[in-house]
Amino acid sequence: MIGSWCSGQKVRYSFINLSRKNDAGMETKIIKIDKPVNQAPALLAAGDIIRAGGLVAFPTETVYGLGANGLDAAACAAIYAAKGRPSDNPLILHVADRAMVDTIAAAVTPMAEKLLAAFCPGPITLILPKKPVVPERITGGLGTVGIRMPEDDIARALIRAAGVPIAAPSANISGRPSPTTAALVYRDMAGRIPLILDGGPCTFGVESTIVDCSGATAVILRPGAVTREMLEEVLGRVELDPALVGEGTTPRAPGMKYTHYAPKAPLTLLAGAPSMMASAFRREITKRQLLGHVVGVIVSEEVAAAIADLLPAELLAVYGRQADLPSIAAHLYEALRSFDLKPADCLLAEGTTEAGLGLAIMNRLHKASGFRTLSAKTGAFVK
């Protein structure tokens, strides 16, 4: 029951009739929301759940979020419990508009002001000094807070309906790839939350770019769809957190230190020029099969066509076209998750360029592989 996740205020949910039962007993309802967003009753009910201390999963243009009232420490504690998230990993707060930013940021630096004007609403999170109203519980004791204004209409309609900033990490079990469809949210969250708003597949497919705007220079803590190149056009020089390029330092976004985006079978990344990939995959698949492995691959359409004779179709996940980085980002997590239910005991994934959106794609692939990378050119381990 929804009511068991809420305290105090009674919520309206009787008209929500798209429900599913699950093993754990709690009913997790899925409501399809159409665009343009006009289902006021469903959104008001979801807003009521959030205001009453409950959890609602909702779509954004990046990945699905698991939302709670960001000003309510107890409600946010339920997010950590549902995800199995380490308690030192801070949550970001989602706002509907510029005015809401001022309710939670102690100061909006000139650099942040430029980024708000250029990219918000959009797939970017700004780290700024926090106001005391933001509970320490959600910032892991940091004096800063991550603020994101999503572009997705359903997300902003939900925030308006709730009337409070919504704390929302990605709606996956901690350590698993972020969900990009309501069905993938359901796979992880069934029985743990009362409601999922289904807005269809996410546009970008990788989480927002995180930019620390609290110091003198902007620093990218997590690459995303707002690329370093796009940020530099607006701000001039922008730094990359050294931890992103594997330099052995502790990442400044606490969540980036954990193994993330990992599929169940161990994954190895093949990195190199697109023209080398087909022969590198043929060599590596054959070698592993000779050793008795059941190999699964995550590759471009181009490579898939060149290796289709080597393995059954169900062990071949296509993530997009080599030259089309947005299509790869949009399908990457779904491709990783497609192996959850398949017999592969090892996975090989095709790397991309590290320029533009490729930086975000390669960051997620490096983390999914635990930095296990083979050179497509030599077949030797790179790191």
User: Residue numbers of the site for ligand TXA (CB under 6 A)?
Assistant: 60, 62-63, 65, 89-92, 125, 127, 139, 142, 144-146, 148, 168-170, 207-208, 210, 221, 252-256
Cα 199 to Cα 185: distance, rounded to the nearest angstrom? 12
Q: Which is nearer to Mg ion, 53 or 177 (CB)?
A: 177
Nearer to ligand TXA, 142 or 197 (CB): 142
Burial 311-334 (b: 16+ CB within 10 A, else e): beeebbbbbbebeebbbbbbbbbb
Q: Is 373 in the site for Mg ion (CB under 5 A)?
A: no
Dihedral (Cα; 70, 71, 74, 76), 10-degree rounding: 10
Chosen from Mg ion, ligand TXA, none, partner binding at 59 (C-beta under 5 to 8 Å by type): none
Least distance CB 90 / Mg ion (angstroms):
11
Which does residue 210 bind out of Mg ion, ligand TXA, none, counting CB within 5 to 8 angstroms by kind?
A: ligand TXA
Rounded to the nearest 10 degrees, the angle between the axes of helix 358-368 and helix 325-337 is 20
Q: Which residue is nearest to ligand TXA (CB)?
A: 255
Q: Please identify, using beta-carbon distances, which residue of 68 and 127 lies nearer to ligand TXA.
A: 127
Q: Which is nearer to ligand TXA, 51 or 83 (CB)?
A: 83
Distance of closest approach, residue 93 Cβ to ligand TXA, in angstroms: 9
Amino acid of residue 280: A
209 makes contact with Mg ion (CB under 5 A)? no
Instruction: Put residue 183 in one of left, alpha, beta given phi > 0 → left and psi -120 to 50 → alpha.
Output: alpha
Phi first, then psi: give them for residue 234, nearest 5 degrees. -90, -40
Which of 69, 139, 170, 338 forms a contact with Mg ion (CB under 5 A)? 170
Q: What is the DSSP string of 358-379?
A: HHHHHHHHHHHTTT-EEETTT-
**Minimum CB distance to Mg ion smaller for 223 or for 296:** 223
369 binds, among Mg ion, ligand TXA, none (CB under 5 to 8 A by kind): none
Count, residues in the chain? 383
